[in-house]
Chain A
Amino acid sequence: MRRVFPKAALVLAALLFLNVAQAQTITVFAAASLKNALDEAAALFERESGSRVRLSYAASSALARQIERGAPADVFISADREWMRYLEEEGFLEPGSSRELFGNRLVLVAPASRPLALEPEPGFAIVPALGEGRLAMADPRHVPAGRYARAALEKLGVWSAVEDRLAPADNVRAALALVARGETPLGIVYETDAKAEPGVMVAGRFPAASHPPIVYPVAMLKGARPGTAPFIAFLSGPQARRVFERHGFAPNP
């Protein structure tokens, strides 16, 4: 009896632990451009930890707005610092939990069925290249990918020329879809998006100096469920890094 009791207790504890671990579900709000890479990384984490990860992708601005409205998310991964800072100022972040994960690059893409080469440089001939079509990009008013794109085009001196030729999309993946479908002759997305979509080809790369550095901050939100901290730690770890690098994300600058 005395020999059984400790074993039973252990088994019970293990079961309890597994149960508790099994019941862990973390909700992650992530920038749209992270879709393919984060799906893979999260699956890896689920297998190892036993937690369930629920992923919700949209433009960082839209996500910030939802969190502000009280959406029950545990983790927020933004595509730029501004939106993370916004939430921090509004007091939605768990203090000290924020860290920067990795970077990205901006590229000019064209449909794979109508490829062309056009290197973004000061005063480059983007308007003739558009012809009668439009330039697809995430909404430059609030979506990070759009803001970076606008900054780059301004820096290169062609923004005023294309300003009214835009096809603004809700998020960068929607912009990518427009180009992939051939709806627009050109689009501006992240390098990782171009890599993920066989329907587009890279026409040219924007110089890194033409826009603020693209970084992806991650943070735990106030009131996050237990099991969140391990996930964030996992994202910064070597396994996750390998996954993201394979998808084309640059290591944290």
Chain B
Amino acid sequence: MWILTPEESAALVLSLKVAFWSVAASLPVAVALAWLLSRKRFPGKSLLDAIVHLPLVLPPVVVGYFLLLAFGRRGPIGAFLDEFFGISFAFSWTGAALASAVMGLPLLVRAVRQSLDAVDRGLESAAATLGASPAWVFASVTLPLILPGIVTGMVLSFARSLGEFGATITFVSNIPGETQTLPLAIYAFTQVPGGDAQALRLCILAILLSLAALMASEILVRRATARAAGRDA
């Protein structure tokens, strides 16, 4: 009863792989955006802020559909990537990762930005007087101090990705082994009479995964916070 079928393990492994890569790929983008929004003033800033937050409030299916229009086989960006780099998102786990990355981006940006806003700018000035260029100040002072925020954001984004459904199924369909993550697998099982046992098993698995992710984040954040505050952790 507790052993997973090959199909179920495939869904589990795929979920973890998609979640991992979606967070890894969106991290630099999120940090850059958070920095822009926190530290810089420029025309169109509130528009950028709104666009970054759109995936939070739009129906996931809408996001998925726009991804399809832009990155699908015949979309402007999708066709370009396919022709010049051979990168294709259609029916592929890369598409599932892209969908998760887009849906999780606002969570990541928000967490990092909050951390950035809270950084003592006086410390950054002090580092500058000691000879650190702006890039070095960021790397040696700012980054370590916002690490708790980054970790929090990453966990939120990871968890969001584990639960991502609407955008994924609209963008890259429900292909077992390629795009059928846990939520999509559960959905597929609920469509078939007699799939209840499998659906339930996968639901429990999803809950356990989320719990594990939350507990890991608790530990990581606590450690990062202690370090940033200067306590001998």
Contact = CB atoms under 8 A, between A and B. Distances in A.
Interface of A: 59, 61-62, 64-65, 68, 86, 134, 139, 141-142, 164, 166-170, 178, 181-183
Contacts, number: 44
Give the dominant DSSP class at B's interface: loop
B183 to A, nearest CB: 15
A181 B72 contact: yes
Given A167-B91, A183-B90, A86 B173 contact: no
A141 B193 CA distance: 11
Given A59-B191, A139-B191, A183-B90, 18 more contacts: A61-B192, A61-B193, A65-B190, A65-B191, A65-B192, A65-B193, A134-B91, A139-B188, A142-B191, A142-B192, A166-B175, A167-B91, A168-B173, A168-B174, A170-B174, A181-B74, A182-B74, A183-B91
B73 interface: yes
Interface string B106-147: 000000000000000000000000000000000000000000
Contacts of B175: 134, 166-168
Contacts of A65: 190-193
B173 A169 contact: yes
A93 B80 CA distance: 53
Interface in B165-216: 173-177, 188, 190-193
Name the 3 nearest CB pairs between A and B, nearest first. A182-B74, A142-B192, A183-B73
B159 to A, nearest CB: 26
Contacts of B191: 59, 61-62, 65, 139, 142, 170
Contact of B193 (A86, A167, A178): A86
Contacts of B173: 167-169, 178
A130 to B, nearest CB: 12
Interface string B92-117: 00000000000000000000000000
Given A61-B192, A65-B191, A142-B191, A182 B174 contact: no
A28 to B, nearest CB: 20
13 contacts: A59-B191, A61-B192, A61-B193, A65-B190, A65-B191, A68-B193, A134-B175, A139-B174, A164-B177, A168-B173, A181-B72, A181-B73, A181-B74
A189 B72 CA distance: 22
B200 to A, nearest CB: 16
A172 B110 CA distance: 41
A188 to B, nearest CB: 15
A167 B175 CA distance: 6
A59 B193 CA distance: 13
B32 to A, nearest CB: 32
> Which residue of B176, B177, B191 has the most chain A CB atoms within 10 A of its CB atom?
B191
> Which residue of A142, A169, A183 has the most chain B CB atoms within 10 A of its CB atom?
A183
A141 B91 contact: no
A183 B176 CA distance: 17
A246 to B, nearest CB: 32
Contacts of A62: 191
Contacts of B74: 181-183
A168 B192 CA distance: 14
